[in-house]
């Protein structure tokens, strides 16, 4: 094992796949000459050259369309959005082209490609740069959606995404690019659609993914101090969702708290709540609790940003509530 930053793990995944498969290339805004807006692609232009690490104009609809066309013709593009907020400009290509070309062509065309970049709040970046769209994209048949929470998962899942025959949405957090973590030495991948039981527990199941795993971890530590043994599950992918892992945990703990950064309406936590109610209702000893961002556009002031986002305190309170220890 060795310690790397989140951004370095992503870079290693892309470099390794580009070295082993000449069909893989990277395109997006500032990915080449500037080494990436968040230095994820640092040094890749020098290694692979301008035909495989391509700076694009500020035209997401255009370069996303180029990437879809390249994927349909046998290449494997990695299409980087500087932020997934900007992917809304290209959403027609993502949803109406990439996600549908396989079924629309009766299998004659595939779109093996990755759309990747940062998602969610990154501090005081205001409303148009701080939104979460993983539940939007997860609502689209034909797409797979990955939201890793640590460097090891980021590398292993990105390698799997690049190799996948389907279009994959790969969402990162700007606030996690500098996060350090241990990753395995040598070649490894992590299968898409398999959750990680980060901590075993018996009293309550806490499910999260992405950046919110950091706060879920902190909440679990606080709960442990108060005598509550929480089981913590990192979904890692939100399409497909590993429902079985959640169900098995709820059958053991009989209680469920779900934490995510998106708005509450039509969220990933809404979907998980529905499935658990249908498949494990008789095991529940308390109502399911969801912790999401507040149902409003993100304010600018720092104090309001923290009030808007799921907090450790809210997670702890919810877990204690379902354990009847509030």
DSSP structure class, residue 182:
E
Helices (H), 73-211: 91, 101-104, 134-138, 151-163
Percent of the chain with pLDDT over 90: 92
> What domains, with CATH codes, occur in the chain?
2-183 (3.40.50.970), 196-322 (3.40.50.920)
Residue 60 among the catalytic residues = yes
233-258 mean pLDDT: 98
Main-chain phi, psi angles of 151, to 5 degrees: -60, -40
116-133 mean pLDDT: 88
Residue 217 among the catalytic residues = no
Span 295-320, pLDDT tens digits: 999 888 888 888 999 999 999 999 99
pLDDT value, residue 253:
98
Catalytic residue among 129, 134, 174, 260: 129
pLDDT value, residue 123:
79
How many angstroms separate the Cα of 155 from the Cα of each of 49, 149, 167, 189, 246?
Answer: 22, 11, 17, 8, 24
* Mean pLDDT value across the chain: 96
As a whole number of angstroms, the longest Cα–Cα distance in the chain is: 60
Q: How far apart are CA 261 and CA 223, in angstroms?
A: 21
pLDDT value, residue 284:
97
Q: pLDDT class for 66, splitting at 50, 70, 90? A: very high
Q: pLDDT class for 323, splitting at 50, 70, 90? A: very high
Q: pLDDT class for 326, splitting at 50, 70, 90? A: low
E strand map for the chain: 2-5, 24-28, 53-55, 76-80, 114-118, 144-146, 168-172, 180-183, 196-199, 204-208, 230-234, 237-239, 256-259, 289-291
pLDDT at residue 169 tops 90: yes
Catalytic residue among 17, 60, 134, 261: 60
Report pTM.
0.96
153-157 mean pLDDT: 98
């Amino acid at each position: 094992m060795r310690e790397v930053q989140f951004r370095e793990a992503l870079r290693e995944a892309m470099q390794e796949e580009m070295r082993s498969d000449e069909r893989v290339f990277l395109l997006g805004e500032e990915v080449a000459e500037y080494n990436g807006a968040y230095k994820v692609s640092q040094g890749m232009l020098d290694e692979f050259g301008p035909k495989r690490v391509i700076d694009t104009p500020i035209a997401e609809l255009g370069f996303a369309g180029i990437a879809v066309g390249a994927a349909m013709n046998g290449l494997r593009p990695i299409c980087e959005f500087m932020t997934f907020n900007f992917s809304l400009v290209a959403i027609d290509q993502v949803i109406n082209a990439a996600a549908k070309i396989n079924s629309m062509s009766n299998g004659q065309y595939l779109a093996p490609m990755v759309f990747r970049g940062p998602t969610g709040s990154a501090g005081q970046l205001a409303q148009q740069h701080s939104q979460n769209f993983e539940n939007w994209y997860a609502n689209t048949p034909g797409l797979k959606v990955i939201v890793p929470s640590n460097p090891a998962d980021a590398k292993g899942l990105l390698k799997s995404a690049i190799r996948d025959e389907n279009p994959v949405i790969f969402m990162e957090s700007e606030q996690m690019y500098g996060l350090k973590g241990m990753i395995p030495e040598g070649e490894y991948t992590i299968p898409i659609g398999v959750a990680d039981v980060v901590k075993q527990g018996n009293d309550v199941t806490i499910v999260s993914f992405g950046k919110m795993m950091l706060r879920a971890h902190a909440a679990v530590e606080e709960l442990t101090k108060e005598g509550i043994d929480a089981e913590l599950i990192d979904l890692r992918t939100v399409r497909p969702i590993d429902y079985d892992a959640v169900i098995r945990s709820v059958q053991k703990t009989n209680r469920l708290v779900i934490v995510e950064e998106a708005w509450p309406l039509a969220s990933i936590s809404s979907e998980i709540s529905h499935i658990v109610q249908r498949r494990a209702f008789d095991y529940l000893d308390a109502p399911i609790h969801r912790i999401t961002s507040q149902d409003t556009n993100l304010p600018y002031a720092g104090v309001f940003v923290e009030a808007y986002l799921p907090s450790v305190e809210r997670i702890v309170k919810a877990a204690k509530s379902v354990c009847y220890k509030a």
